[in-house]
Amino acid sequence: MAKKIKTNPNAGEIRDGIHYHQHDVVIVGAGGAGMRAAIESAPQASTAVITKLYPTRSHTGAAQGGMAAALANVEEDNNEWHTYDTVKGGDYLVDQDAAEILTREAIDAVLDLENMGLPFNRTPEGKIDQRRFGGHTRDHGKAPVRRACYAADRTGHMILQTLYQNCVKHGVNFFNEFYALDLVMTEVDGVQRVSGVVAYDLSTGDIHVFQGKSVIFATGGFGKIFKTTSNAHTLTGDGVGIIWRKGLPLEDMEFYQFHPTGLAGLGILLTEGARGEGAILRNASGERFMERYAPTIKDLAPRDIVARSMVQEVLDGRGAGPNKDYVFLDCTHLGEDVLENKLPDITEFARTYLGVDPVTEPVPVYPTAHYAMGGIPTNNDAEVLADNDTVVPGLYAAGECACVSVHGANRLGTNSLLDINVFGKRAGNNAVTYAKTAEFIDLPANPAQGVIGMLDELRASDGTENVAAIRKDLQDTMDMNAQVFRTEETLTKATEVIAGLRERYKNVAVHDRGKRFNTDLLEAVELGFLLDLAEVLVACALNRKESRGGHMRDDYPDRDDATYLKHTMAYLAGDPHSSVATDHIRLDWKPVRLGTYEPKARKY
């Protein structure tokens, strides 16, 4: 064995130019789910967190409105009502045992954060304050309820800061600006076992191999397959793409949520908390149009219903602006005190990006791609599944990259920050429990060979295709053909365009041939993941000939429980480099785990 050479604290042992590290638990991603997992594992085992961003820049920090929990601090509430809302809001595609875990453990999740030091807004009595949010009701849908615990409209930011401070306290080993590019698996007694992760150090261009007894993926979403999105530039689905390329399945990829209130033309998010405080959606004539679509809870209907209603207003000619292509979010009646103290961020966003002051004028808004309900299939213990039932030993996933499924076909607002804390905690606990009794699995010979080959090929390419141009064409076709409303015709068009883009990608050029901080190279890698995931999404959407939650088929406008009350499972099969989706995507189904709540029409 080569002599250990320590060039810096994160250098590891260098052999043949590759850096090797060994940790009991390896976590990929330092957003809310990854750091919540690390807080559980670090006190008990050596824990490494690999993150492409500095942890406090992770996208959890962009979440604004709140975190749901039936604390009943402001009005009567209980977790059974919360479960009902989660199942109904998810258009009954939610696995109900998972939803019960989510809502039952929600209270402890909030109190955990409070005890860690998170500065929640308070009631006059000093309790954690709560506000209304879309789809959250009392007494099984009879009226809105105040369930969202919040810290102004910076709740995600506060969660991220709080978790990071506690990770530092527990001595978590962070590897910042390391891009995870492959999952290493080794066959043991005929079973594929997790043995490590391969990552690229942005600052040096070096390759690092992290050997771990257990691995947790907490890599977030992939909203950058769309042009109009609330997601940051970094949300390219790397973790989900890695799992896909390893031949493991993805679940419910057709279900993508479009948040109703993105700044028109930009997609920058204005929290649903604004409507929770009483803001109203209006069309060009000033009509409160949600009274026609959801007469009981109006603007606080679930996001899929509100987003479709907004788009329908525009399609029917009631949109505002020169092109009649948006509607208004009217906050003017809330008053300056509420806007400046409870909603300061969105007030500033509107002023900065649109030159509109919400205190005195309505804000132009339109749906924006926001959240992936589908992703890496897991069970309730956050263990990744190789099929409908088989666990991949030592592999876990949590947060937006995972599909438990607690969100079904449409996630309720504030359930995402809840999800990352409940299932991030579960992933950390179960991963460290596994690591305590497991042995390190031997790494295969040359575990980084595939990653090195991919990077060398891209770096040396003399192709003529431009990464940014392909990405733009992908995002344009996804916005045009696979957004809020979909049909056989538009999805087929998207399939054809993506096939052409995959062919162009084979001839892509990377102009920066260096190693240090080569973001040009990594954007080319990220584009490959985006193309893969967009293709899977469209294939799954074509296959589901019904409308449910975030998946609205204009040519099949009704929900079809008899045929489609089941999860989509997509598998990589055949030649992964083929530009024809049907040559390498195999689709199957997985039963929904029903419970107390039988599917029925959603009325709000």
Answer yes or no: is 54 a known binding residue: yes
Give the chain's radius of gyration (CA, Å).
Answer: 23
Answer yes or no: is 59 a known binding residue: yes
Answer yes or no: is 541 a known binding residue: no
Answer yes or no: is 416 a known binding residue: yes
Answer yes or no: is 55 a known binding residue: yes
Answer yes or no: is 16 a known binding residue: no
Separation CA 458–CA 358 (nearest Å): 47
Answer yes or no: is 329 a known binding residue: no
Answer yes or no: is 58 a known binding residue: yes
Answer yes or no: is 86 a known binding residue: no
Q: How far is CA 191 from the centre of its chain?
A: 29
Answer yes or no: is 33 a known binding residue: yes
Can you read off the two tokens belonging to residue 376?
């890496």
Answer yes or no: is 53 a known binding residue: yes
The identity of residue 29, as a single letter, is G
Answer yes or no: is 590 a known binding residue: no
Q: How far apart are the first and last CA of the chain?
A: 66
Answer yes or no: is 223 a known binding residue: no
Place of tokens 């810096």: 8
Other beta carbons within 10 Å of 189: 5
Answer yes or no: is 411 a known binding residue: yes
Cβ-based burial of 124 (10 A; exposed 0-12, middle 13-18, buried ≥19): exposed
Answer yes or no: is 309 a known binding residue: no
Answer yes or no: is 63 a known binding residue: yes
Answer yes or no: is 437 a known binding residue: no
Separation CA 60–CA 39 (nearest Å): 16
| Closest to 379 measured CA to CA, from 6, 97, 77, 113 | 97
Answer yes or no: is 51 a known binding residue: yes
Answer yes or no: is 417 a known binding residue: yes
**E strand spans, 472-531:** 485-486, 508-509
Separation CA 96–CA 369 (nearest Å): 26
Cβ-based burial of 22 (10 A; exposed 0-12, middle 13-18, buried ≥19): middle
- The length of the chain is 604
Other beta carbons within 10 Å of 483: 21
- The answer to whether the beta carbons of residues 117 and 173 sit under 8 Å apart is no
Spell out the residues 6+ positions from residue 369 whose beta carbon is closer than 8 angstroms to its own. 223, 225, 226, 228, 229, 230, 231, 256, 257, 258, 259, 267, 483
Answer yes or no: is 573 a known binding residue: no
Separation CA 273–CA 133 (nearest Å): 6
Separation CA 475–CA 487 (nearest Å): 18
Answer yes or no: is 61 a known binding residue: yes
- The answer to whether the beta carbons of residues 101 and 422 sit under 8 Å apart is yes
- The answer to whether the beta carbons of residues 119 and 158 sit under 8 Å apart is yes
Answer yes or no: is 212 a known binding residue: no
| Closest to 498 measured CA to CA, from 522, 523, 527 | 527
Answer yes or no: is 62 a known binding residue: yes
Catalytic residue among 303, 426, 544, 602: 303
Return the bridge partners of 527, or none. Answer: none
Answer yes or no: is 219 a known binding residue: no
| Closest to 48 measured CA to CA, from 18, 24, 13, 12 | 24
To the query of whether residue 586 is one of the catalytic residues in this protein, the response is: no
Per-residue DSSP letter, 457: H
Residues serving a catalytic function are 303
Binding site, annotated residues:
29-34, 51-66, 238, 259, 271, 370, 400, 411, 416-417
Binding site, annotated residues for FAD:
29-34, 51-66, 238, 400, 416-417
Binding site, annotated residues for substrate:
259, 271, 370, 411
